[in-house]
Structure 1
Amino acid sequence: MSGKVALVTGGASGLGRATALTLAEAGAEIVVADLDAAGGKEVAELVGGHFRACDVSDLDANRALVDFAVERCGGVDIAFLNAGVATGCGIGDDFDPALYRRAMGANLDGVVYGAHAVLPALRARGGGSIVATASLAGLTAVPFDPLYAANKHAVVGLARSLGPALAPEGVRFNAICPGFAESRIIDPIREMLSSQHLPIIPAQIVADTVLRILTGDATGECWFIQPGREPEPFRFRNVPGPGEAVTG
């Protein structure tokens, strides 16, 4: 990571904070982005980096964030598009359009807008790497939060599709898919997880996985992270091809 500039969204706490510290320790210069200015500035000070307040659900805010990183650091080599929120509603009587748009704005738009905004900076460096935070909810059904599953499935599909699409430009795009990991998102269900004796993944394990992806050479992969298992790329089954043609 020496000499690399890494942009980390949602960097004020949880997975973003742990990853910012890990990448800095590996030698990267860090730009921390978050709506939590106090937490973001604290992390930036810890890593000797830079902080920029950013609402990732706003396209212009993402462009301004990348401009800030280029101006302060001379360019961007890595983007960890990690910012995200819990949904807070379902699709039935409890459906709330404002909460739905908030979740989709942070969890999906934040990745799409972030990737769009950072691509010119990565191209200017001759290539680079993007890692997006999806979730185990992007690999399986989540009946208790279908809307969260929907936006995380979308991030998984984006990573699998953009990986090969951007490869000719020297830009790699991968995703991480942690289970219940130490972050603010699990705060509303922390008591339930404890009562069911479900282990919470330390943020450092996620950060170490991000570093492994960044120092590798694969693209279009979605790495699952589960307690008691070694993180690795999820092996998707191939889509069935067309069957025998029906005639007559």
Structure 2
Amino acid sequence: MTAAEGGAAAPRREPHGDGVLRGKVAIVTGAASGLGRATALGLARAGAHVVVADLDARGGREVADLVGGRFRACDVSDLDANRALVEFTQETYGGVDIALLNAGVATGCGVGEDFDPARYRRAMGANLDGVVFGTHAVLPALRARGGGSIVATASLAGLAAVPLDPLYAANKHAVVGLARSLGPALAPENVRFNAVCPGFAESRIIDPLRGMLSEQGMPVIPAETVADTVLRILTGDGTGECWFIQPGREPEPFRFRNVPGPGAPVAV
């Protein structure tokens, strides 16, 4: 039995980074491919121990072997599965310092005649419940370490209108709102909560769109660019931030406009 299958821990492979996160313990959901895979590799290079979580057991084990970490099957839309993932990580590495709540799926339907309640619930379960449940499950572990960092994968669809996929925009807007709200709420406990909001990035979600993107000359953001941004967030000190990632631009926190305050009473 290999370490990735849940047996004895494999010998730790030396990361190729500068060790800025050496000794930290990280959970990455949706880590079998795409953005999660790239970030798991980046965390390992930075010195972190990584628990790779995904429903794709084959891909997840492959990534776990690459990073010298452990694999755990997890349906992020299930609260108990999130709790079990955190418990597994604590039992394996003694605690948790970092959680990248990255698992997500495309919606596949709209709100009109094509509305499909099952697809809707699947998308909301992975893209929103997975972040809420993951946060709820990992917070006690972070508190036990005296603090830590959570990064949720949102999307540029969480910062702008997306008429072609309003339900995807809805759950990603919710993740953005959660990050902006939980950032300051958790700061007194030394827990930072931020989000990344990439445009069209290299992942399975964009597979149905590749032809259109190519025809329009729209570049696809490398998964490594998103991973590098996550590492910048983890090694920074900001909280409640939502970092946009767009081709040809330097990633940075999105500057939200303030909501207008109350005005003078309206005469009647």
- Please state which band the TM-score falls in when normalised by the shorter chain: over 0.9
Using the alignment, how far apart are the partners of 1:21 and 1:137 within structure 2? 25
Would you say 1:56 and 2:73 are equivalent positions? no
Letter of the structure 2 residue corresponding to residue 205 of structure 1: T
**Which runs of structure 2 are paired with 1:74-153 in the superposition (5 Å)?**
74-153=94-173
Letter of the structure 2 residue corresponding to residue 30 of structure 1: V
Deviations 1:160-204 (A, max 9, x none): 000000000000000000000000000111111111111000000
Count of aligned pairs: 248
Deviations 1:9-62 (A, max 9, x none): 000000000000000000000000000000000000000000000000000000
Would you say 1:174 and 2:156 are equivalent positions? no
**Which runs of structure 2 are paired with 1:27-42 in the superposition (5 Å)?**
27-42=47-62
Shift, 1:112, TM fit = 0.2
The list of structure 1 runs, each at least 4 consecutive aligned residues, that deviate by more than 2 angstroms after superposition, is: none
- SS of structure 2 residue aligned to 1:30: strand
Q: What is the root-mean-square deviation of aligned Cα atoms in Å?
A: 0.5
**Which runs of structure 2 are paired with 1:61-72 in the superposition (5 Å)?**
61-72=81-92
Partner of 1:25: 45
Letter of the structure 1 residue corresponding to residue 51 of structure 2: V
Shift, 1:247, TM fit = 4.1
Using the alignment, how far apart are the partners of 1:26 and 1:136 within structure 2? 26
Q: TM-score normalised to the size of structure 1? A: 0.99
Deviations 1:124-155 (A, max 9, x none): 00000000000000000000000000000000
Deviations 1:88-144 (A, max 9, x none): 001111000000000000000000000000000000000000000000000000000
* Structure 1 gap ranges (5+): none
Letter of the structure 2 residue corresponding to residue 41 of structure 1: R
Using the alignment, how far apart are the partners of 1:229 and 1:246 within structure 2? 44
* Structure 2 gap ranges (5+): 1-20
Letter of the structure 2 residue corresponding to residue 103 of structure 1: A
Would you say 1:154 and 2:174 are equivalent positions? yes
Would you say 1:199 and 2:211 are equivalent positions? no
Shift, 1:246, TM fit = 2.2
Would you say 1:165 and 2:185 are equivalent positions? yes
- SS of structure 2 residue aligned to 1:115: helix
- SS of structure 2 residue aligned to 1:230: coil
Letter of the structure 1 residue corresponding to residue 153 of structure 2: T
Q: Percent identity?
A: 84
